[in-house]
């Protein structure tokens, strides 16, 4: 009853096997192209810069702690 028999063995789908192999070896097949350079630049420089500007502009603008019903979020 509790031997080495696998009761839930499924046939491997070739598409899933190919996808798994592709994701495992993605670093082997990666090439720097203008498109990948542009996307990397956007995520490494532009997005953090925008988030930093937003954080700098809104620093201390709202006090979200200990607010009650009817209190304003903006401090004057």
pLDDT in tens, 46-65: 999 999 999 999 887 776 67
Distances in Å between the alpha carbon of 51 and those of 24, 40, 41?
A: 32, 16, 15
| DSSP H helices in 1-76 | 14-24, 26-29, 34-41, 47-57
Note the pTM of the prediction, 2 decimals: 0.54
The closest alpha carbon to 47, from 57, 58, 55, 35, belongs to 55
State mean pLDDT over 31-40: 95
């Amino acid at each position: 009853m509790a031997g080495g028999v696998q009761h839930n063995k499924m046939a491997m789908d070739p598409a899933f096997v190919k996808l798994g192999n592709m994701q495992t070896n993605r670093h082997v097949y990666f090439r720097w192209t203008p498109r990948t350079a542009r996307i990397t630049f956007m995520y490494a420089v532009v997005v953090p810069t925008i988030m930093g500007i937003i954080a700098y502009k809104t620093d201390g603008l709202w006090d979200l702690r200990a607010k009650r019903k009817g209190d304003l979020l903006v401090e004057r």
